[in-house]
Amino acid sequence: MHTTVTFHNKLPLIGTNNRGIKTFFDTSAELLGPGGSAASPMETVLESLGACSMMDILSILKKMRKNLITLQADIDARRAQEHPKVFTDIQIKYCLESPDCTHSELEKAVRLSMDKYCSVAAMIRASGCAITWSAELAQTS
């Protein structure tokens, strides 16, 4: 795996992976001038956590032959007061809309992701950050 992050005289920074797909990174205006055109690096870490775990959850539920309409992860985090301002705890609320998935099946998929498969969660947890989660199911007809 390889990626490059580049600064071209102004923000945002541009990350480019080996397939040519770009990710933009920005910061608040008080640090480097006008900002806010893209997510901060720490925001992208949270987004990556959500995306990584959701990929697992979707795959697990598809293997259970569940019909999936929407899945969303709402993620809240707290950071240390001192530098480096690492995440100290993260809470994730997963909300699934499905006509045939049970709450216990959703919880099983989330638990497998968070405890076994999600490499982003494993890296964050290894830093000492606590990750907690909850799961809600909205069944459709």
Q: Cα(first)–Cα(last) distance of the chain, in Å?
A: 42
Query: Which two three-digit tokens encode residue 51?
Result: 């995306």
Rounded to two decimals, what is the model's pTM?
0.92
- Domain segments of the chain as ranges: 3-32, 41-139
pLDDT 10s digits, 91-131: 999 999 999 999 999 999 999 999 999 999 999 999 999 99
Cβ distance 125 to 90 under 8 Å? no
pLDDT 10s digits, 46-81: 999 999 999 999 999 999 999 999 999 999 999 999
Cβ burial, residue 122 (10 Å; 0-12/13-18/19+): middle
Closest CA to 56 of 110, 99, 1: 110
Report the CATH superfamily, name and number, of domain 41-139.
K homology (KH) domain (3.30.300.20)
